[in-house]
Amino acid sequence: DQQVKQNSPSLSVQEGRISILNCDYTNSMFDYFLWYKKYPAEGPTFLISISSIKDKNEDGRFTVFLNKSAKHLSLHIVPSQPGDSAVYFCAANFGNEKLTFGTGTRLTIIP
């Protein structure tokens, strides 16, 4: 049972435009959400997070939005750059250190 879902396996975006990556979850107990980025042959690296008491968190070009009623979060990257090409995983947790990850979205930025 996939509690965290990323329904788009891949996404291509023109350089300079906005990239929007989506994530849905089913477990209403989740109260902390994260995005990780993964380049080939490297481990995932933390990008940005959001607590369920907020609906938006910004860090430079990256913004995460949380819609608790829809159990949906999204990551916006503006403007998109070639170095943003990677696989993006959303993750969620509650209660302990265990993270539940989504299946990932491969983002390709077209120069």
Partner 1 sequence: DVKVTQSSRYLVKRTGEKVFLECVQDMDHENMFWYRQDPGLGLRLIYFSYDVKMKEKGDIPEGYSVSREKKERFSLILESASTNQTSMYLCASSPSGRTDTQYFGPGTRLTVL
Binding footprint of partner 1 on the chain (CB under 8 A): 4, 6, 9, 32, 41-46, 49, 51, 89, 91, 93, 95-104
Nearer to partner 1, 14 or 51 (CB): 51
Instruction: Write the DSSP string, 6-40.
Output: ---SEEEEETTS-EEEEEEE--TT--EEEEEEE-T
Nearer to partner 1, 1 or 111 (CB): 1
Query: Least distance (Å) from partner 1 to the CB of residue 34?
Result: 8
Q: Could you say which DSSP state residue 82 is in?
A: G
Query: Least distance (Å) from partner 1 to the CB of residue 103?
Result: 4
- Token pair in block for residue 8: 């788009």
- Token pair in block for residue 26: 């089913």
Nearer to partner 1, 45 or 67 (CB): 45
